[in-house]
Amino acid sequence: MEISNYISNDYQVVHPHTGVNLIEETLINNNFLVVQDELKQFYGIITPADLIKRPHKIVIDCLDNIEKVYENETLIEVYNKMITTNRDVLPVFKNDSLCGVIKMVNLISNIGNKKVLTGRSINQVTIDSSIEMKIADKIKNKFLENISHEIRTPLNGIVGFAEIIASMTDEQPPSTELLNTIIESSKQFLNVVNAIVEMSKIQTGDIVFEESYECSAKSIIEETYNYFATDNCVLNKNNITITKEHPNNDISFTSDKMKVKQILSYIVSNALKFTEKGSVKIGYLNRNSDVVFYVQDTGPGIPKEKQDYIFIPFEKIETNRNKILPGVGLGLTIAKHYTNSLGGEIWFNTVENEGTMFCIQLPLELSN
């Protein structure tokens, strides 16, 4: 199968002799940068991991010899190169000149509906079964890599601090800080397990929706606010506040209340996680005879190159290449599935370095 439909020209270029300090900020908001000089000579692809491994004075010092892909290669050959080199993006050459890049995420993101993202449009293609198996294997490996880290981290916190408390005497009662760490680690572990279970049910079609449930928009916002407003571990650590707002009139609608609260919970959790200062605001309003819930934060915003992929399973956004945020990358995927299943839509507006607003629009009457 030809790779022409997979080639993308959506990438940012940096000069090989640019100082590392000048491109660090750019790399924070990009998965990779193509390194070329003014004559279009290709030097390589640089990632945040490359800088961490070799923080030298100029970009070219940080580059590894990278495997090249040629336009006439098959997808199987390309996948073998990606898997053996452990690279999620490779350069594509035509007649010894760079003609674009090929990204694993484009293939993973469209395996479900057999669409392939190119640099200009979305083309309908048929993916060969052997290729599909390789993509599925890549997803599985990504899942296992994420989940092993996300489970070990909170469990180590729980076990470690529990052992400290167990060794204390009556004259040395455990501090509030120790107890809060255990509580926070337990919640983090429970969230990971819940997300895995929910995603598994979605994939097997075992999710059950309550088709007739009278809901109060005001009540849902109040309950969501009360749940997160008492989470002092998160609010105090990040020095942020959570606020609520709603119109004078309540909005009644028919839906699955628990699923609506889960949708909001995933989005609010993300907002609190990424917001380092300022506030997170939740509320609702009436729009075109529908109810719209919204979550607005003062966080870093979503980088442009990540905006097409945030609802993809296991996709994680890191605001700082030295800071790994908890989570397996399933929350927004589950939120979108639930919203669509309830006959609604989910979207977002974001401005980098200013914040993001997520909106969930649901019908007043739940249809079959």
- Domains within the chain, CATH numbers bracketed: 4-127 (3.10.580.10), 142-204 (1.10.287.130), 214-363 (3.30.565.10)
d(C-alpha 190, C-alpha 183), whole Å: 10
d(C-alpha 172, C-alpha 56), whole Å: 48
Using CA atoms, how far residue 211 sits from 258, 341, 362, 367, in Å, is 12, 11, 13, 8
pLDDT at 356: 94
Averaged pLDDT score across all residues of the chain? 76
Helix segments in the chain, DSSP class H = 20-28, 48-53, 75-85, 104-109, 129-166, 176-204, 217-229, 232-238, 257-274, 331-341
pLDDT at 1: 53
Query: Is 141 exposed, middle or buried, given 0-12, 13-18 or 19+ CB atoms closer than 10 A?
Result: exposed
d(C-alpha 319, C-alpha 226), whole Å: 28
**Which two structure tokens, joined as six digits, stand for 112?**
């479900």
pLDDT at 322: 43
pLDDT at 239: 74
pLDDT at 280: 93
d(C-alpha 332, C-alpha 315), whole Å: 9
C-alpha 137, offset from chain centre = 20
**Which two structure tokens, joined as six digits, stand for 247?**
């119109």
CA gyration radius, the chain: 23
pLDDT at 335: 92
pLDDT at 123: 41
d(C-alpha 280, C-alpha 300), whole Å: 12
In sequence order, which residues have a C-beta less than 8 Å from that of residue 145 and are 6 or more positions away? none
Question: Which pTM does this prediction carry?
Answer: 0.56
pLDDT at 233: 54
Query: Is 313 exposed, middle or buried, given 0-12, 13-18 or 19+ CB atoms closer than 10 A?
Result: buried
For the stretch 305-353, pLDDT in tens is: 778 778 877 666 655 544 545 566 788 988 998 998 888 999 999 998 8
d(C-alpha 219, C-alpha 208), whole Å: 22
pLDDT at 319: 52
pLDDT at 318: 59
Residue 218: pLDDT band by 50, 70, 90 thresholds? very high
In sequence order, which residues have a C-beta less than 8 Å from that of residue 131 and are 6 or more positions away? 1, 75, 76, 79
Neighbours of 362 (CB within 10 A): 27
Give the mean pLDDT of 163-173.
68
Give the mean pLDDT of 155-183.
69
Hey, which of 172-176, 289-293, 300-304, 311-315 has the most confident mean pLDDT?
289-293
pLDDT at 118: 37
pLDDT at 365: 83
Q: Show the 3-state SS of 210-251.
A: CCCCEEEHHHHHHHHHHHHHCCHHHHHHHCEEEEEECCCCCC
d(C-alpha 339, C-alpha 265), whole Å: 13
pLDDT at 326: 57
Residue 106 has pLDDT above 70, yes or no: no
Question: Poorest-confidence range of 31-40, 75-84, 245-254?
Answer: 75-84
Q: How many residues does the chain have?
A: 368
d(C-alpha 112, C-alpha 338), whole Å: 17
Question: Poorest-confidence range of 11-20, 55-64, 120-129?
Answer: 120-129
**Which two structure tokens, joined as six digits, stand for 87?**
């690279």
d(C-alpha 302, C-alpha 325), whole Å: 15
The backbone torsions φ and ψ at residue 361, rounded to the nearest 5 degrees and listed phi first, read -100, 125
Provide the β-strand partners of residue 115: 124
pLDDT at 110: 45
